Every structure is written in C-alpha cells, then in structure tokens.
C-alpha cells in the first residue's frame, strides 16, 4: 500500500521512483531531474521529470545550484566569450535596458557572468557557455485511486496539457490494484496520456514500488498550439526545467514544519515521507504549517545537544534533504 491516505505521500514516492528508474520501458542515457508542483501560471503539475543530457547536466553545475530565472537566462545564454558592453552583447530584450542592467548585476552577484567597468559602461563576459542540458520534459499527475470519477476530473487538465504541448509527454501515475486498467477508465483520459501503475505489492514498507506501463503516451506536438511562438515555448520550457533543477522534489521541507517537535521522516517505499507523531499518520503538506493546532516548537534542549550553531533536529532534517538533493545533482 502506498504511504498514508494523503496523495502527498504517493507523490513523494512517485518522485523518488522516477529519480531512480525513469524512463519506464525504454533504454535511455538521460539523467532524470525530478521536481514537484511546478508549471506555469495556468497549470501546475504534480511531478515533473526533466530528461537531461548527462554531460550537459554536469556543465550546468557551473552556474550554481539555484535556478536561473528568465532575466538571468537572457544574460547568461547570450554573454560573450570576450569582454563587451552588455548592450552590444545581448539581444534587444523588448523591454527597457535598465531591467537588463539590473539582471546583469544580479548575474554578477551570483557568479554566473563576469562584469567590469569601462568608464560608464558595464562590460560582461561569460564564465562558461550555457549548456543545452534539457532533452525532454515529462509531466506526471499523481492519482493513487484512479477510479472513473477521478479519471473524468483529470481529463480536462490532461486535455489542456496535450493541447499546449509544453511537455513532451504527459502521464498519470496510479497505484496498481492487481486488476488491469479498466478500458472504460482509459476512455475518460485523452489517448495521448500515458498511465503508469506503481505496484507496492507485498514489499516491505521501505522497498521501492515496481512500475508497469498500463498505457503508453504519445509524443506531443509542440507546433499544434499556436498561442505561443516556438521561441516563447522553448523559453518557457527552459524556465520550467531551470526551476526543476533549482528546487528538486525534496523542497517540501521548506514549506512544512520540520522544526515542530512532532515532525518525523519515515522511509516509505524508498522515499522519506513526513510523519506526524502527534497525529500518528502521514500529514499533508498543507496541514503541516504554523496554523496547525498541534504545532509545538522543538524543545530548546534539542538545539543544544552538540549543535548550538547548526540548529536542532528540524535543521538536521533540512540538511539531510538538501544533501540528498545536492548528491543527485
Ligand atoms: S503537529 Fe502539525 S505542524 Fe507538527 S508535525 Fe504534525 S502536522 Fe506538522
């Protein structure tokens, strides 16, 4: 059984499985970069898998662990190999140059370009070529209980994903029931969407699930939607990939309360999933907040057990997840 009643636990297990085993049923040299709850203003996906070129992904590390936003990407991708005035070097952004100038200063502060002054002029030079690290983007919706009504509820969202084709593939991940997926259920989903059944079987609580492809997805056609130009679409995709790179899927700990005395992480189906000792169950990300009626700060004594500088167990959990995120990179 997947961990807890909350879809949140299932989502974390899906992310961990994808990190280890993506892509299903296909030989590939790509490295999966996995993130959760990312997308555009109009559409947020549960899980994103960016299939990355391994060498180019290594080269991306030169630009640090944090995501490059669209303004920084404009500077970094166009920065020249030799010193040049930034207005000569960068393409006209289509908005006032003073915003570009601010982005140049931010890029310099992040160490992702070099700058120097020549009189009044700011010159820039790249620290390295920005690599072409994104091969494909895959969006996954997590629905552990994929019954007919859940499939119908998802259908519109998936149809929108298929129409916009911002991702190369869309999938629904569900918990395997032992039965084959009902044809009637598949009828409710767009045929282009893949269905992935994660089987938790009789495995022990900490074993990763087995995955079976119940329906193969179609490769989406990015030219089918004309609301964005090809360049705008490519820019949006790269922004999404950058955000996935910067946040990963373990960043849930930044919005939950690992500093609560009841917060624990339990190994479930291969992933660390938050557990609330006060409620004796896996809590959702939304309820584990400062507004939780059972929240109690971790006792001050926990902070003094040999880690007066590093902080208490809550900080330790954050460090553990951050270290795992770094190791994946
Ligand atoms: S008591 Fe509330 S804040 Fe504390 S771990 Fe449980 S859900 Fe989170």
Q: Is the CB of 295 under 6 A from ligand 1?
A: yes
Q: Are 46 and 283 in contact (CB under 8 A)?
A: no
d(CA 252, CA 286): 10
Q: Write the class of the CATH domain 58-126.
A: mainly alpha
d(CA 327, CA 231): 33
Q: Name the DSSP class of 102.
A: H
Domain with CATH 1.10.10 in the chain: 58-126
Q: Write the class of the CATH domain 7-57+132-247.
A: alpha beta
What's the CA-to-centroid distance between 288 and ligand 1, angstroms? 5
Q: What is the pLDDT of residue 185?
A: 65
Q: What is the pLDDT of residue 2?
A: 60
Residue 325: C-alpha distances to residues 35, 168, 215, 287 (Å): 10, 24, 31, 24
Q: How confident is the model at residue 239 (pLDDT cuts 50, 70, 90)?
A: very high
Q: What is the DSSP string of 143-210?
A: -SS--HHHHHHHHHHHHHHHHH--SSEEEEEEE--SSPPPHHHHHHS-TTSEEEEEE-TT--TTSPPE
Residue 2: C-alpha distances to residues 7, 174, 199, 250, 319 (Å): 9, 10, 9, 18, 26
Q: What is the pLDDT of residue 81?
A: 98
What's the whole-number mean pLDDT along residues 136-157?
89
* Range from 100-104, 210-214, 245-249 carrying the lowest mean pLDDT: 210-214
For residue 23, say if its preceding peptide bond is cis, omega within 30 degrees of 0. yes
Q: Is the CB of 47 under 6 A from ligand 1?
A: no
240, two tokens: 């999404």
Q: What is the pLDDT of residue 202?
A: 61
Q: Are 252 and 274 in contact (CB under 8 A)?
A: yes
Q: Is the CB of 278 under 6 A from ligand 1?
A: yes
Q: How confident is the model at residue 311 (pLDDT cuts 50, 70, 90)?
A: low
Domain with CATH 3.40.1350 in the chain: 7-57+132-247
In this predicted model, what pLDDT tens digit does every residue of 88-97 receive, in sequence order? 999 998 999 9
pLDDT top residue among 198 and 302:
198
152, two tokens: 């119908």
Judge whether residue 19 has pLDDT over 80: yes
What's the whole-number mean pLDDT along residues 244-264?
90
Q: Name the DSSP class of 29.
A: -
Q: How confident is the model at residue 6 (pLDDT cuts 50, 70, 90)?
A: low
Q: How confident is the model at residue 307 (pLDDT cuts 50, 70, 90)?
A: very low
In this predicted model, what pLDDT tens digit does every residue of 105-118 receive, in sequence order? 999 999 999 999 99
Nearest residue CA, atom 5 of ligand 1?
A: 263
Q: What is the pLDDT of residue 175?
A: 86
Read off the pTM. 0.87
At residue 138's C-alpha, the angle toward residues 177 and 267, to 5°, is: 55
Q: Is the CB of 257 under 6 A from ligand 1?
A: yes
> How do 134-142 and 169-175 pair as beta strands?
parallel
11, two tokens: 């989502």
In this structure, what is the dihedral angle of CA atoms 271, 276, 280, 285, given to the nearest 10 degrees?
-70
d(CA 157, CA 314): 36
Nearest residue CA, atom 8 of ligand 1?
A: 288
What's the CA-to-centroid distance between 257 and ligand 1, angstroms? 7
What's the whole-number mean pLDDT along residues 244-273?
88
């Amino acid at each position: 059984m997947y961990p807890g009643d909350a879809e949140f636990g299932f989502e974390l297990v899906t992310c961990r499985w994808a990190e280890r085993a993506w892509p299903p049923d296909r030989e590939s040299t790509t490295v999966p970069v996995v993130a959760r709850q990312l997308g555009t203003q109009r559409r947020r996906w549960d899980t994103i898998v960016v299939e990355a070129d391994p060498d180019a992904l290594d080269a991306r590390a030169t630009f640090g662990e944090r995501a490059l936003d669209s303004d920084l990407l404009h500077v970094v991708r166009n920065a020249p190999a030799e010193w040049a005035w930034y207005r000569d070097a960068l393409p006209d952004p289509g908005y006032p140059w003073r915003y570009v100038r601010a982005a140049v200063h931010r890029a310099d502060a992040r160490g992702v370009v070099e700058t120097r002054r020549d009189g009044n002029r700011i010159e820039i030079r790249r620290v390295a070529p920005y690599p072409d690290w994104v091969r494909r983007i895959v969006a996954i919706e997590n629905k552990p209980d994929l019954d007919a009504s859940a499939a119908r509820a998802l259908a519109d969202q998936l149809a929108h994903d298929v129409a916009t084709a911002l991702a190369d593939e869309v999938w629904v991940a569900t918990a395997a029931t032992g039965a084959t997926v009902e044809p009637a259920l598949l009828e409710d989903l767009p045929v282009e969407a893949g269905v992935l059944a994660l089987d938790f079987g009789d495995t022990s609580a900490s074993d990763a699930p087995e995955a079976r492809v119940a329906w193969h997805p179609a490769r989406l056609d990015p030219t089918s939607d004309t609301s964005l130009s090809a360049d705008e679409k490519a820019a949006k995709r790269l922004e999404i990939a950058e955000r996935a790179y910067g946040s990963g899927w373990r960043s849930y700990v930044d919005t939950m309360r690992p500093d609560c005395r009841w917060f624990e992480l339990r190994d479930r189906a291969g992933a660390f999933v938050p557990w609330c000792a006060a409620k004796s169950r896996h809590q959702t990300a939304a309820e584990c907040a400062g507004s939780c009626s059972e929240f109690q700060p971790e006792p001050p004594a926990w902070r003094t057990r040999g880690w007066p500088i590093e902080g208490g167990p809550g900080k330790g959990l954050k460090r553990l997840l951050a270290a795992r995120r770094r190791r994946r990179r």
